[in-house]
Amino acid sequence: MIIWLIGLSASGKTAIGKKVYQLWKQSEPNTVFVDGDEIREIFKHDRGDSPYTIEGRKINADRICELCAWLDRQKINAVCCILSIFDESRIWNRNNYSDYYEVFISVPLDICKKRDIKKLYASAEQGILKNVVGMDIPFHNPTTYDLIIDNSPELNEFDSLANEILSSALQNRKKIKYIYSKGNLIEKPNTYFYSKVMGIDFLTVWINSRRKIQKHLNLKYPEYLSKQDNLLKNSSLEFNIDSNLNNIKKISILHK
């Protein structure tokens, strides 16, 4: 799965993204962090003006998209922090990754300018630097994001924002098929094995499998199940899975 964080320079996307990565890696070790500026350095694409033109930025964007696709094919999760100014890149991501979750870190430009420790915006305003996104290169707010995070307040609660992003991303992850055992296990027992689906994903898959069984039994034995439902409703053992699932997931993430 690829979690893609978009935002202006100084919006806080990298700081938040690192927290998401650290939190996610605790439950899924096959997780890496990808930063747009670091990819520039690796490919020596950070020298002079040309790498920061529209054309130069597209080259870097394509590299990052392909890198994340390469990781995704190897079942490696990635948290990617990038300006992501090209709509076609994000469309490509959604069509090519096994799972893609897009997060827009929204911060007004005037606030980004105040937070800018790199002095990119000030240098652009003084005419010292050109090809700065948000200044002479426009930044258009994305419209296809899955989640928007307002990081305007001066709270720096990156841990809670990371929890919100990861919880939402995992809940929206594509369903993993739950494989049922077949045959008579009493007459022909097989060796018990542990599922490769773990943690929150396992909880979701397991509950979905119970609902599938319930649906099947409702169709095949409606009268019997109707009696059982009435007994359950009148007992003190009632447990509403649907109303408690999201709370269980949140608790699981917060206590990793």
Distance of CA 99 to the CA centre of its chain: 9
pTM over 0.85, yes/no: no
Tell how strand 2-6 and strand 31-35 pair up. Answer: unpaired
Mean pLDDT over 202-214 rounds to 67
Q: What is the pLDDT of residue 228?
A: 56
The verdict on 76 and 160 lying in the same domain is yes
Residue with tokens 């606030």: 111
Q: Is residue 180 part of a domain?
A: no
Contacts of 163 (CB under 8 A, 6+ apart): 23, 250, 253, 254
Domain residues for 235?
Answer: 199-254
Query: Cβ atoms within 10 A of the Cβ of 210, count?
Result: 11
Q: Are 14 and 55 contained in the same domain?
A: yes
207 with 115, same domain: the answer is: no
How far is the C-alpha of 58 from the C-alpha of 52, rounded, in Å?
Answer: 9
Q: Give per-residue pLDDT as tens, 99-108.
A: 999 999 999 9
Residue ranges with strand state E in the chain: 2-6, 31-35, 77-82, 100-106, 147-150
**Residue 10 maps to which CATH number?**
3.40.50.300
Q: Are residues 98 and 147 in the same domain?
A: yes
Pair 41, 152 in one domain: yes
82: β partners: 6
Which residues lie below 8 Å from residue 96, measured CB to CB, with a gap of 6+? 65, 69
Tell whether 161 and 206 lie within a shared domain: no
Q: Which of 171, 188, 222 is at the close of a domain?
A: 171
Domain count, the chain: 2
pLDDT of 3-44, one tens digit each? Answer: 999 999 999 999 999 999 999 999 899 999 999 989 998 998
Residues 84 and 206 in one domain: no
Residue 137 resides in a domain: yes
Q: Are residues 22 and 113 in the same domain?
A: yes
- Where does a domain end: 130, 153, 171? 171
Non-local CB neighbours of 53 within 8 Å, separated by 6+ positions: 131
Q: Do 43 and 117 fall within a single domain?
A: yes
Among residues 171, 189, 224, which one ends one of the domains? 171
Pairing of strands 100-106, 31-35: unpaired
Looking at the structure, do residues 126 and 232 belong to the same domain, yes or no? no
Handedness of CA 94, 97, 98, 99 (dihedral sign): negative
- Asked whether residue 193 carries a pLDDT value surpassing 70, the answer given is no
Together in a domain, 167 and 204: no
Q: Return the amino acid letter for 87.
A: D
